[in-house]
Structure 1
Amino acid sequence: MKLFTSPLSVFIAVCIGLSSAKPLTRGTDNANLDEVNGPVDVQLIEEVPSFEMNLKTPTAYELRTFGTDQEEGSMEYILRENEDIQSGVEHYLIEGDIKVDYNVSQVSPNAVRNRNVRWPGGVVPYFIDRSFDNGARQRILAAIERYHQTTCIRFVPWNGQRDYVHIVPRQGCFSAVGRRGGRQELSVGGACNFHRGTIMHELMHAVGFQHEQTRTDRDQFVTVYYQNIQPGLEYNFIRYNQDTIDHLQTRYDYYSIMHYPMYAFSRNGRPTIAPRQSGVSIGNRNDFSTTDILKINRYYECEDTTDNGGEETNPDDCEETHPNCSFWAQRGECSRNPAWMLPNCPVSCRQCRPSTPGCSDDNDFCSQWARNGECQRNPRYMLTSCRQSCNVC
């Protein structure tokens, strides 16, 4: 017997099913809400802070499935934004975001050893292109202010100086390394200016620093998987010798804002560079590490004269003030509501790392996801944010 189902009957059935569902109210235990995917850890739905924020309280489903995409760090934003950039007639990019001029016969790949490319007195004249909107301009100024809070670098508005940085909204994110002479472009176009950390990364190139993983001793601390790198892009993982690069008497810094992420230039979705030390992550910074600050001040010979930020959150000692911080950060609130999110959710907004990074999970549902096999199915997120549950530390 052939059954005929009219659209009206389907609509009525759906409505009946929806009306019979029990609504989730604040304070309800959502452990047994999903009979298909199994139980989830207990999580109470809480009110959103009313500090001029327009945030939606996460639903039970969103809390259960949250974590499949990790908020990216500054270098991940940069590499994604620069994927479609073609070599121009005036310059090309190495290591993803370092501008090299065609008319320079020999380019020092790292300015740290070459003291001649420092900005005299640590003073960097800059000009923000007028084509930036007000929001982008404020984020650029916030990145500049972070240098003023933590280093002796002083960015000053351009007033006719011969050498200066012209911050422009070209396609992609890029900068030259150190002072190149005359007008030099630093681009934070498109999504490159959405995050303070991305702008800080490019500015650190401009004041004279290369990516962390180019250090002479890097192979003691990270493994490069050349078989996973896109063909022809292996040169982006070059390691320089001591004649070229100066470590400034610092240890290798996994947490540097200048470090590559694990999947940089991957051809197959597998890691291209990974830390040898367990329990650490790389390439997910949106603020200076302590060593970043130390290196800048040593390079400019001002270690003893720098205000390290006063009451600003220490990059190595910060705490979240609300249990839903990670969820809101995933929804983009770090950018939409920075006034509340950055001081109250500094870890989730990648402003600093926890004071005890050790072996721990970053999400309450890590153990459940691990039991469901997510360590194998979704390693990009799980192996860095659910380290304890995935037994990687």
Structure 2
Amino acid sequence: MVVLGFIFHRLNVSVTAVEAATGRTYLPSVMEFLVSASLVAVGIWIFLLACRYLPIFPEGAMAEEERIGQHAARVGPIRYHVRMKLVSRFVLAVVALSWASASRAQMASQWCDVERWGSGSQMARLNREFRETYDALRTNDPTTAKKSEKRARKLLDGLLDAFVTGPDGRRLIGLATYLLALGEQRLGRSDDAAWHWQMAQNFAPELRQAYGDFEDVVPFLRDHLLSAEHCEAAKERAHGETSPTAKPRVPAVSDSAACREQVVAPVLERRVNPRYELGGRMCLLNGVTVIEAYIDTHGIPREPIVQRTCGVTVCDVVVMDAIRDWRYKPATLAGKPYRTLLTVTLNFAPHSDPAHSGGPLHAPGPSGS
């Protein structure tokens, strides 16, 4: 059973191409051992039925027939053995649960190759939804602006619910987030639009050179570009020592005792925990995501950058979405507010306590220095 479980694991990894997409190595999951257990259970079930009802052992066939005939003469028609009923139902339950779990892995593989899975695959369907949302936003009709924004939000939620990953899934999430930013900007929600536009640049960097399809929002998009140099600098900082908690750092402030006395660190006033998506818990995915942002002079996080990804785009998205709703009392220097750097490190891990099944094992609390 262990060997079969490992074989199913390698088949699952090769079909979904998850290792090639994320650059990580995945160990066999409980689901894959359940699939192998179901095959073993089916084999045992068939063997038991064969032993009971087929003349597998010729030397005992006559004795068995004579015994069955005597038993039938005494008690009437032969009834299906109660123990065999229980065994059969147990085997069927194991098979149903195991293959239902396996179908979840097959759903994930549909994101890898649309040609393999046909036009009915999830990727093909959401590609069509993306095109419809894009066309609706291109019309720039003020009467349908709210409807177009809701459509973009629904598209992004669909991608997150399907737990897409890999290069194609990451790019599609970036493009869907870009469309959401366009819809929000047209509704006057500039803060949300700027955040989502900068999120999109993390997942689809080519948008920095190709954002001119919507002329009415081009000035806004240009003003909120994340330069390639800015992103590279953030990733270089990630190679240094990182704290397990979100820790704002104050750049360009002297470390002298006089300056330290005038510095007041930012204070977290509102925090929203990221969701640990159901797909991640089912596949027992774990990893660390590091997000860098700035806290502006009003205590609002800005300019999110993925310093380090856990390998699953959906987890990166939910962390950034949570940070967007955090609010701070801004840091001050000599009584004047100033912008500070925020680095959030979050560890995704399965939790055995059902009360924590909707969130990460460790959700860090920011602190200042």
Normalising by structure 2, report the TM-score. 0.22
Q: Tell which structure's C-alpha radius of gyration is larger.
A: 2
Relative to its length, the structure with more helix (as a share) is 2
